[in-house]
Amino acid sequence: MTSRVMVSFVCTLPLHLEMLQQGMNTIDKKNISGFWVVGINYKKTDASIRGQFAINNEQYESILSVAPSFGLNEFFILSTCNRTEIYGFADTADQMMELICTETEGEIEVFEQLAYAKNGMDAIWHLFQVSAGLDSQILGDYEIVGQIKTAVKFAKARGFIGAFMERLLNSVLQSSKAIKTQTQLSGGTVSVAFAAVQYIKEHVQQVKDKEILLLGTGKIGRNTCKNLVDYLHTKHITLINRTEEKAETLAQELKLKHAPLEDLSASLKKADIVLVATNANEPVIFREHLEGNGDKLIIDLSIPYNVSSDAQELSNIKLVNVDELSRIKDETLQKREAEVPKANDIITEHIQEFVDWCKTRKYAPVLKAVKHKLNELCQHQVILMSPKYCDCKDEIQKVINTLAVKVRSENNIGCQYIGAINEFIGTRAGNE
């Protein structure tokens, strides 16, 4: 009986190995070598151009819907005021560029001239750097983590995040969290919202006497508003938002004024300082709003710009955008720069753990098949020299653990497969 069972096993071995190799080939297509990032950012592209390639949720939805026709089915898009990037699996970078530009205002020819494309470990390193705030316009800006989570959640809900990227992103977020807690890279208060307040403090005298209008109370608008109150110690602030209830709620929370969108022209006329954080797809403040209405400092925190370009031609208007704000350097940023080597060490550690997981994952079909075969053999009492069925769980797991180490180092699937079976049978025979 023992011989018949072993003959049966040996006869099916070539089929098992063929299936294992097919499974490994499938996994390999979604591995480090196939991972790409393609994008533009503030380093090479000014805000006016970046705005042409900004992706809102509606555009994101459309891109996901047509992605399979471009041969892409696992990716996510990160679009912020500083960057538009697509991360995922593709045969070439051109696929990703063509896909993302199907929904942008800007032309693909412009994107191709300005874009960077990174593949494999370079792409993975870039993602870790971005998530840590090491690639941000303002070093250590931790808001990017929330933006990555939102972008990934959007893609995952529509079936575009697989096992490889799930694990990669978990590693990325763990690394980012470790950097946040173990270094001072994000120490102090430096962000676009804070930089706007710093600019006002440095360039506007007697700011407590000035009338401030904040247009837009989304995340950036809320942060800016709280910084205005905390650091400028002023309550002369009026809030306007497209959805008036949101402006009213924030105004009540901070004991400020609010106005409906219909009063925008009148509010602009009275304001000395205007901060714009609406993130609309086109300008919401035009030259006619400002002409002849006194000197004003306008800080546009939106990408694309939400203040019309001809407004800055007016002699009574000083217009500042996010690119200019990003140049603000202070002691906080200098302290953060000293933390960069520590952050890179943490990233290196987490990437190595991820690479180790990838190596193990490559051989997952082998380990799964061997475990299945050992469980089958457990039921053959004659082979195991046992008068009745017994629980082999611990011994099976021991064999699998040993096999996992061997296949990673020796990379000989067939021999390791047979060796694991023999080891298990030999162990069971020796125990009887």
| Residues identified as active-site | 81
The pair of structure tokens assigned to 241 is 């938002």
Shortest CA distance to 166 belongs to which of 92, 91, 87, 99? Answer: 87
The pair of structure tokens assigned to 21 is 């190799």
Which residue matches tokens 């009986």? 1
E strand intervals along 121-247 = 212-215, 237-240
The DSSP code sequence of 275-294 is: EE----SS-SB-HHHHTTS-
Residues comprising the chain, all counted: 432
Do 268 and 291 touch, CB atoms closer than 8 A? no
Query: What is the C-alpha to C-alpha distance for residues 319 and 354, in angstroms, rounded to an integer?
Result: 45
Query: What is the C-alpha to C-alpha distance for residues 77 and 97, in angstroms, rounded to an integer?
Result: 12
CA 41 to chain centre: 14
Query: What is the C-alpha to C-alpha distance for residues 358 and 159, in angstroms, rounded to an integer?
Result: 21
Which residues on adjacent β-strands are paired with residue 273? 212, 297
